[in-house]
Amino acid sequence: MATVINPFAVSLNQKRGREAYQELQEVTGKPVYRRGDYTIWKKAKTFYNTCYKNIIITQTTGAPKDLADALYECRDMEGSDHFHLQRMKGAITDGMAYAKENNIEVINI
């Protein structure tokens, strides 16, 4: 089991001025996919969390292996995948800032 930062919950809580969403979550078991510092964890039947180290960078129905590969390989994507990839990069930045503010170590899980 490992604790991960959910920057999407942090952002929603800040916008709403209250802590309605879990900023820290637990992942258990083994990842369904790993590529370097990127892992995909199955959360529910068809729901997945993709993480950079211990920061959630996307929450999807289905495992976005191609997007994790693109991040690992530092390559861009086209169309809607491009925008999804950019949002994932932003989540890394947001998660790192939250970790720094709250003295949480960013580690590979």
Q: What is the pLDDT of residue 19?
A: 83
Q: What are the structure tokens assigned to 10, written together?
A: 């942090």
Alpha helices, DSSP H, located in 41-104: 65-72, 79-101
Containing structural domain, residue 56:
2-101
Divide the 109 residues of the chain into consecutive groups of 10 and give the mean pLDDT of each group: 93 86 92 97 93 97 94 93 94 97 96
Q: What is the pLDDT of residue 25?
A: 93
d(CA 22, CA 9): 6
* Residue 26 within any structural domain of the chain: yes
Q: What is the pLDDT of residue 1?
A: 84
* Residue 15 within any structural domain of the chain: yes
Q: What is the CA radius of gyration of the chain?
A: 13
* Residue 106 within any structural domain of the chain: no
Number of domains, the chain: 1
Name every residue whose Cβ is closer than 8 Å to that of residue 75 and which is 6 or more positions away in sequence.
none
Name every residue whose Cβ is closer than 8 Å to that of residue 71 and which is 6 or more positions away in sequence.
38, 52, 57, 85, 88, 89
H-helix or E-strand spanning residue 11: helix 7-16
* Residue 9 within any structural domain of the chain: yes
* Residue 24 within any structural domain of the chain: yes
* Residue 107 within any structural domain of the chain: no
User: Could you tell me the pTM of the whole model?
Assistant: 0.92
